[in-house]
Amino acid sequence: MSTPINRSTPIRLGTRRSALAQAQSGHVAAALEKVSGRAVELVPITSEGDTNRASLSEIGGQGIFATRLREALLAGECDFLVHSLKDLPTAIPDGLVIAATPVREDARDVVITRGGTPLHQLRTGSTVGTGSPRRIAQVRRRAPHAEVVDIRGNVDSRLQRVATGELDAVILAAAGLSRLGTDSPLRREELGLAEWPTAPGQGSLAVETPTDAPEELLRALAALDDPDTRLAITVERGVLEGLDAGCQAPMAAHAQVEGDEIRVRAVVYAPDGDRRIGLDVTEPLNREYIRRNGSGNGADAADGAYPMRAARELGLVVAHRLLEQGAADLVSREHSSS
């Protein structure tokens, strides 16, 4: 049985120290305060991803942002966490649960330039900054004449590198710019998801807490959950899991609920962008089943105990079909080079 909450003490939200992490945690904190009637305080935590400036592809990708925060949560240093869902590995540690996935922000990528030149029209030799293997492969397909520069850093530092002329363009997530409320004279080009799908979970947040958290906290967090977002990201993470893309093979998956159907677009790219293998699949939704059984653990529905298992299974099927159609060659090639 969980311990009751002392309502006179604030709920502690563990968050990375970056401006973006603080902003998105602040949005969730404000929503939780309205639902719970209690104060929420931010507990800054430094992750390896915040201190190690090496390329993400070299230091482990997703898990470097989540590991230290989860250690703090399990140690009782905070009561819950807010993650960028795309930063979370598909395996959720024992003792933790994704208690909510709030309404998703814009899942698209955007190209930031000084003059507004579209990515595919940039001059030969133009420099485009990104540290994502997926975005690197996509840039090489969309603008093969451009030079890709592997970069790290926060949103402001990336924008500054364009403003000063050090780079001609950078690729950023639209959701991050929106959450930060970034006001910049630089120009932006939104990249459509049909031709430029993004990372599984992009634009979504994951609210994580211990499985034995007080029932009052679990109920309050569950009130922040958006069922359509949860369905979509569960499919996307199923694709990621099925591809076993922790090898950093460039891949994208985006799912969207459209009426009584869910549509998923998934692509695996060759690292140099010269090949891509993709699928576009639409399946019907059983909304009555979701309404009776849905809640809580959308992002880590790892077995049949959770109602999101059908969504996860759809993602796994899509991944299997991609592998059968040749994506296995792209993934294995990446394994052999790592």
Residue 100 banded pLDDT, cuts 50, 70, 90 = very high
By C-alpha distance, which of 249, 253, 306, 243 is closest to 272? 249
- Parallel/antiparallel/unpaired status of strands 96-100 and 205-210: antiparallel
Residue 175 main-chain phi, psi, to 5 deg: -65, -40
- Residue 309, amino acid: R
**The CATH number of the domain covering residues in 109-190:** 3.40.190.10
Q: Which positions are annotated as active-site residues? A: 87
Question: What local confidence, expressed as pLDDT, does residue 87 receive?
Answer: 86
Query: Looking at the predicted structure, is the pLDDT value of residue 297 above 60?
Result: no
pLDDT of residue 303: 39
Q: Evaluate if residue 334 carries a pLDDT over 50.
A: no
Side-chain-side CA neighbours of residue 206 (13 Å): 31
For residue 7, the model assigns a pLDDT of: 66
What distances in angstroms separate CA 125 from CA 55, 122, 229, one per listed residue? 22, 8, 39
Q: Report how far residue 36's alpha carbon sits from residue 223's, in angstroms, rounded to the nearest whole number.
A: 9
pTM for this predicted structure: 0.86
Instruction: Assess whether the region 11-105+200-337 and the region 109-190 belong to the same CATH fold.
Output: yes
What pLDDT was estimated at residue 336? 40
pLDDT tens-digit profile of 118-143?
999 999 999 999 999 999 999 999 99
Per DSSP bridges, beta strands 127-129 and 169-173 are: parallel
CATH architecture of the region 11-105+200-337: 3-Layer(aba) Sandwich (3.40)
Going edge to edge, which strands form the sheet with 11-15?
A: 40-44, 11-15, 80-84, 205-210, 96-100
Q: Is residue 301 within 8 Å of 312, Cβ to Cβ? A: yes
How far is Cα 131 from Cα 182, in angstroms, rounded to an integer?
Answer: 20
Q: How far apart are the first and last CA of the chain?
A: 46
Domain boundaries, the chain: 11-105+200-337, 109-190
- Amino acid 324: pLDDT: 92
Judge whether residue 305 has pLDDT over 90: no
Provide the pLDDT for residue 5. 54
Q: How many CA atoms lie within 13 A of 161 on its CB side?
A: 20
**What is residue 104's three-state secondary structure?**
coil
Is the pLDDT reported for residue 16 higher than 70?
yes
pLDDT (tens digit per residue) in 24-42: 999 999 999 999 999 999 9
Q: pLDDT over 90 for what percent of the chain?
A: 68
Q: pLDDT digit string (tens) for 166-190?
A: 999 999 999 999 998 877 899 999 9
- pLDDT of 105 > 50? The answer is yes
Q: What is the mean pLDDT of residues 92-103?
A: 94
Question: Contact at 8 Å (CB) between 79 and 25?
Answer: no
- How confident is the model over 233-268, as pLDDT tens digits? 999 999 999 998 554 568 999 999 988 899 999 999
Residue 335, pLDDT score: 42
Mean per-residue pLDDT of the chain: 86
227: its two tokens: 């069922």
Percent of the chain's residues with pLDDT above 70: 82
